[in-house]
Amino acid sequence: MSVRVVNSLKVPDLTLQPLSILVLHGPNLNLLGQREPGIYGSLTLAEINHLLVAEGKKLQVEVSPMQSNHEGVLVDTIHQALGKHQGILINAGAYTHTSVALRDALAGVNLPTVEVHLSNIYRREEFRHHSYIAPIAIGQISGFGVQSYLLGLQALVHHLRKDKG
Ligand code: DQA
């Protein structure tokens, strides 16, 4: 293990410790590519996941993507993240605006979470302006298409490394 010197003491350098990030995609995001491309772009979910894994390699983190249309499956996956992953990047889709259960699961495991959206939810219908997740997330990135995910991943990794540094 590499070490670094702090106040003349040699301490293990945790800043580059392998991190694992759970990427959660909520309902209907499996349809990306064909779903309202004017709003969500033309990339498929597989292509977005590919870009996230590649970005993870650059950042030296493992990226584990998962998508479900079912609220309970997403809740279970969040619970199972404990001990496996150090942070969560989530696009909860429509559950962003409706799900107290997802918010409580994220608060319950207390893993640093970044919320992302392809579209700018604040430029759209009023019912999309409220997020149940935002108050328990480190931050939210909305409106940059696939870049929202990539920027969100960078921000999450930066946050995790800073906490440990
Ligand atoms: C979305 C925005 C949500 O309002 C919507 O229900 C989605 C996708 C986005 O990525 O822009 O399914 O989360």
Q: 16-66, pLDDT tens digit by residue?
A: 568 999 999 999 999 999 999 999 999 999 999 999 999 999 999 999 999
| Per-residue model confidence (pLDDT) at position 1 | 39
- In this predicted structure, the answer to whether residue 162 has a pLDDT above a threshold of 60 is yes
pTM of the model: 0.90
- In this predicted structure, the answer to whether residue 88 has a pLDDT above a threshold of 70 is yes
Q: Tell whether 8 is covered by a domain.
A: no
Local confidence band at 69 (pLDDT 50, 70, 90 cut-offs): very high
Q: Tell whether 50 is covered by a domain.
A: yes
Minimum CA distance residue for ligand 1 atom 8: 93
Residue partners of 48: CB distance under 8 A and separation at least 6: 32, 146, 149
What's the number of domains the chain is made of?
1
Q: Is 44 exposed, middle or buried (0-12, 13-18, 19+ CB in 10 A)?
A: middle
Average pLDDT for the chain = 92
State which of 121, 132, 144 you would mutate to test the pocket of ligand 1, scoring each by most atoms of that ligand within 8 A of its C-beta.
121
Q: Tell whether 139 is covered by a domain.
A: yes
Catalytic residues: 40, 117
Full residue range of the structural domain in which residue 73 is found:
25-146+157-164
| Per-residue model confidence (pLDDT) at position 2 | 47
State which of 35, 90, 91 you would mutate to test the pocket of ligand 1, scoring each by most atoms of that ligand within 8 A of its C-beta.
91
Residue 122's CATH number: 3.40.50.9100
Q: Tell whether 39 is covered by a domain.
A: yes
| Per-residue model confidence (pLDDT) at position 18 | 87
| Per-residue model confidence (pLDDT) at position 131 | 98
